[in-house]
Copies of this chain bind each other. A is one copy, B any other.
């Protein structure tokens, strides 16, 4: 395991440049894979999407999915209004003058209105995006370098389909992706904002005032959070108790003491599977939240659409432990988690996040994880190889 990050990460801190939201690019981190669309939503018609501010057309031909820049270089028509006119050829044809592009390379392979003899220079092309279908979801690599393998960008519970099963949902948020990702950095908004969430009706409220430590994950794809201590209630002078005892009738049903199981050394997740963190943030905008059992992870993927819109993809992943357990997991998700978590619980955040505006923040003790995440991104986000590196590699081959 790596050494924990330097001291400032786990102490309160002022807003410094490296922790500022704006240290991260407004339309997202390039050169990563992102989930962009449920596979079943792409039928026979090409589909226009926007990811990281880029207009992209997806189309499916002969069982393969392709992704191209959604703009014809000829006269600027939208390729997604066109069609796969020649099924099986893996091409998409512009609706306006019939320029036809290879889904694989992006090159223009025919200008239908000019006859078959027309010579087409290889520079007549649109950008093509690496694309894959995995777990019923279409994944896109958006960036300026050759794509890495898809599995490089996926946590184990997504990459290993034979060991894990599950469901995915998505939601569109009217906020910048950084605001949404900040919300997922173990910033202790949960014990407050979600204290009355229906999903937690029989569970204790999360403890607050915990001591949070952020450290790089062993694979160095991100940072993991360790929370220690924390209290379940407290008296605030001049105000009263938190949580307010009479706020809802059903809090009387709640057991107490969830704080106990925060110790990362005792849960099955640690003892049986060796997971070091219950929650972690991975590049490019992934949040992985596990249960103490080690048999369930929620993998939530923040996908920037543009500067003010974000796609929020949630994968609920259960460890395969036999047919009966799988059936139980599925029923639990369908009849309980799908609506109490992905819908009701998350909408408590959505309502707040869509109104967040912050030219100037005041980061505080609870924002250790937020600051650590921003700093990690600023230092570790993937960048295209420089020419020097590329030369080096070429020489080595």
Contact = CB atoms under 8 A, between A and B. Distances in A.
A63 interface: no
Contact of A110 (B124, B231, B236, B244): B236
Given A189-B97, A192-B96, A362 B73 contact: yes
B356 A76 contact: yes
Select the residue from A75, A76, A355, A366 with max chain B CB neighbours within 10 A. A75
Which of A91, A116, A358 is the most central at the interface, judged by chain B CB atoms within 10 Å of its CB? A116
Contacts of A367: 75
Most chain B beta carbons < 10 A, residue from A96, A208, A244 = A96
Nearest to A247: B85
A228 B89 CA distance: 31
Contacts of A250: none
Given A75-B367, A231-B115, A352-B95, A238 B189 contact: no
Given A114-B364, A187-B97, A238 B109 contact: yes
A389 interface: no
A322 interface: no
Interface range, A side? 35 or more
B113 A362 contact: no
A114 B209 contact: yes
Given A111-B364, A209-B115, A356 B86 contact: no
A77 interface: yes
B71 A357 contact: yes
Copies of this chain, tallied across the complex? 3
Contact of A362 (B116, B124, B362): B124
Given A81-B351, A81-B352, A244-B86, A113 B73 contact: no
Contact of A240 (B86, B238, B240, B356): B86
B81 A355 contact: yes
A327 B112 CA distance: 41
Contacts of A370: 75
A242 interface: yes
A360 interface: yes
Interface string A339-367: 00000000000011001111111111111
A181 to B, nearest CB: 12
A387 interface: no
A77 B356 contact: yes
Contact of A188 (B97, B192, B360): B97
Contacts of A73: 360-362
Q: Pick the most buried of A86, A189, A236: most chain B CB atoms within 10 A of its CB.
A: A236
A215 interface: no
A351 B96 CA distance: 10
A182 interface: yes
20 contacts: A74-B362, A75-B361, A76-B359, A77-B356, A81-B352, A86-B239, A86-B244, A89-B238, A95-B352, A96-B189, A96-B356, A97-B193, A98-B192, A98-B242, A113-B191, A113-B209, A114-B208, A114-B365, A115-B208, A115-B231
User: What are the 3 tightest A-B residue pairs by CB atom distance, in nearest-first order?
Assistant: A76-B358, A115-B209, A98-B192
